[in-house]
Amino acid sequence: MQQYLESLLEKIRSLRSRSGMTPRKVIPKIIFWNIKYLLKYTPRSKFKDNTIHIAFIPQAGIGDFTFAAKYIYCLKKNFGENITIDIFADHHFEAAECFWQGKKHINHLFFSNTPKQNVYDCEIALLRFPAIRYIDKKRVSQVGTEHFKQYLELLSRFQIQNPLLYHSDYLGRCYSLLHGRTRENQADLENILNMSQVTDFYIPLPENDEETLGKFGIKENAYIIIQTGSGKHFRNENDIRQWPVKYYEELIEKIRKINPSIPIIQIGEAYHKTVKNTDINLLGKTSFREMLAILKGARLLISQEGGLPILRHFISRKPSCVIFGPTDRNFFGFSENSNLSASNCDGGCEWILDNWYQTCIKTGKNIGCMKYILTEKVIESIKKQLI
């Protein structure tokens, strides 16, 4: 019964994280999933060798995929030749291909959300904490090292004892901060993988990044990027994580007074709000790999909290100026960045309510603390990068 409830809750969470999923679309999928669950037999691993074969399912947005990529890297680094990892991704295909296709620590990448033909020794999904979906305990007992068996027991025990942490990102963040962990190493339960000390993990870039910069007429370390939008599953125009567009436009004018020659480029999705006075508008005009090359080459990224500052950290460790509203800068911020929040509210209300990104919990309005982070505060924090 426990395994069924855990699997059902995980399925609901997975569906909710997808773009465009309304209750009317979710309900038939849950009914069909229940029928399949009731009819299926207890699976056993098809593998007969001396290696533990793991099916890994990353979930949610680009930032979450990036953190999952580091977790997978550290998992393989710790357990080495005793495990092989196959990735199953049913969205963010360009990112998945860039992160895992042809990488030495990954066996295969499949564009699917679950193993269908192969039955693995272990299936693990990851959003904030690792969630074991299935494990062939007999195979793991026979083939796994003692260290790896203890690790899987830790994950299973944590999952059973702390179901609320898997279904409330707010509680999960509170738990992690209390244990000295940030979003970057949140998945590292009891610090077994030593993720906070791993500094050699980078998001790999294609070799033709100079060609990409040339395509758009820019030179490395000689331009600034701004980015206004939230993730693809936060497409609502009233997202209170968004720093007002008029503030970006005011900021650009202030930047030009300090350094009039440096180009300012806007990147992001085609539906993001346009900042009128940039030098180059690349909204919806780059591939994912081109966007990574542009991120790496920039002298500075100025953005609200989201996927791009996370990607830039794992691409280059070069500085960004990140503007935080309801999300917690102590949890999501990186040490090389200027992490800014309002002086009258330090955020941290993310996921207390389901509509946290549409309505400020304190004011009840669709604009919150971001309006109190003025351009003067931003310009003061980035002066060194401008000169």
What are the CA-CA distances from residue 213 to residues 207, 208, 373 (Å)? 12, 9, 32
Cα(15)–Cα(29) distance, rounded to whole angstroms? 9
Instruction: Extract the tokens encoding 131.
Output: 């969630």
1: confidence class by pLDDT, cuts 50, 70, 90: very low
Instruction: Extract the tokens encoding 234.
Output: 């936060």
For residue 54, the enclosing domain spans 42-197
Cα(201)–Cα(327) distance, rounded to whole angstroms? 25
CA 227 centroid distance within chain: 16
pLDDT score for 382: 92
CB contact set of 126 (below 8 Å; sequence gap of 6+): 56, 57, 58, 59, 64, 68, 71, 187
Name the DSSP letter for residue 261.
T
Residues 252, 254, 255: CA angle, nearest 5 degrees:
65
Q: Which residue has the tokens 């003692």?
A: 146
> Does 261 map to a domain?
yes
Taking phi over 0 as left and psi of -120 to 50 as alpha, with beta for the rest, 191 belongs to: left
Q: Which residue has the tokens 């979710």?
A: 26
> Does 318 map to a domain?
yes
Tell whether 229 and 89 lie within a shared domain. Answer: no
pLDDT score for 11: 72
Tell whether 55 and 112 lie within a shared domain. Answer: yes
> Does 202 map to a domain?
no
Tell whether 151 and 221 lie within a shared domain. Answer: no
> Does 342 map to a domain?
yes
Mean pLDDT of the residues in the chain: 87
Tell whether 255 and 358 lie within a shared domain. Answer: yes
**CATH number of the domain encompassing residue 362:** 3.40.50.2000
239: confidence class by pLDDT, cuts 50, 70, 90: confident
Tell whether 191 and 214 lie within a shared domain. Answer: no
pTM score: 0.86
Q: Which residues of 367-377 are buried (b: 16+ CB within 10 A; e: fewer)?
A: ebbbeebebeb
pLDDT score for 368: 74
CB contact set of 96 (below 8 Å; sequence gap of 6+): 58, 65, 87, 89, 109, 111
Helix (H, G, I), strand (E, B) or coil at 126: strand
Mean pLDDT throughout 110-129?
A: 84
> Does 61 map to a domain?
yes
Boundary (domain end) residue, out of 171, 197, 223? 197
Tell whether 219 and 275 lie within a shared domain. Answer: yes
Q: Which helix (H) or strand (E) holds 200?
A: none
Tell whether 234 and 368 lie within a shared domain. Answer: yes
Tell whether 192 and 227 lie within a shared domain. Answer: no
Give 227 or 33, the one with higher predicted confidence: 227
> Does 186 map to a domain?
yes
> Does 230 map to a domain?
yes
Tell whether 220 and 191 lie within a shared domain. Answer: no
Sequence length of the chain is 387
> Does 87 map to a domain?
yes
Mean pLDDT throughout 6-29?
A: 70
Tell whether 231 and 183 lie within a shared domain. Answer: no
Tell whether 223 and 112 lie within a shared domain. Answer: no
Contact 195, 184 (CB under 8 A): yes
Tell whether 167 and 84 lie within a shared domain. Answer: yes
Residues 291, 296, 297: CA angle, nearest 5 degrees:
100
Helix (H, G, I), strand (E, B) or coil at 384: helix
Boundary (domain end) residue, out of 197, 223, 253? 197
Exposed, middle or buried: residue 321 (CB in 10 Å: 0-12, 13-18, 19+)?
buried
Boundary (domain end) residue, out of 169, 197, 225? 197
* 174-201 tens-digit pLDDT: 999 999 999 999 999 999 999 999 988 9
CA 116 centroid distance within chain: 25
240: confidence class by pLDDT, cuts 50, 70, 90: confident
19: confidence class by pLDDT, cuts 50, 70, 90: low
Q: What's the 3-state SS for 319-352?
A: CEEEECCCCCHHHHCCCCCEEECCCCCCCCCCCC
The count of domains in the chain is: 2
